[in-house]
Amino acid sequence: MAGDPIDGTRWTRKTTQSIAQELRTLGIEVSANTVGRLLRQMQFSLKTNRKNIESGFRHKRGDRARRNRQFLHINAKCRKFETADLPIISCDGKKRELIGCFKNSGRTLRRKAKEVYDHDFPSDAQGVALPYGVYDV
């Protein structure tokens, strides 16, 4: 069980099956279906985060042109390698995950959706995580 200490909102990522299993360890015999029915009666349902908080980042004049220049440079390099009959290799880097009040694909049982920023701008992040692990080279 997790919660927000400020507004008292509580939620869990556990399945009705795991909740029923935990209740059985406490001596309460209940099925996963009953847990689901009770949660619905208490007005809990699976919710995703809702992009509703306007974030503070605004595009500056010339951002698109600077971004496009980067792709024009890469494209020019590719054409140069093509004409020289050299291989062109595309490398994919690890995705960085923003930490903060952002939408994610998970769902939690709660009474109402958690409000998150309407856009995922790095300037609104509390930090950045690389969740792919550390490799011994």
At 13-48, the pLDDT tens digits run: 889 999 999 999 999 999 999 999 999 998 888 888
3-state secondary structure 17-60: HHHHHHHHHCCCCCCHHHHHHHHHHCCCEEECCEEEECCCCCCC
Radius of gyration from C-alpha coordinates of the chain:
23
Look-up: residue for tokens 């939690």? 108
Please give the average per-residue pLDDT across 96-110, as a whole number.
Answer: 80
Q: Are 117 and 124 in contact (CB under 8 A)?
A: yes
- Condensed to tens digits (0 to 9), the pLDDT of residues 55-87 reads 766 666 667 777 788 889 989 998 998 999 988
Look-up: residue for tokens 């349902």? 45
Where in the chain are the domains?
A: 54-105+115-137
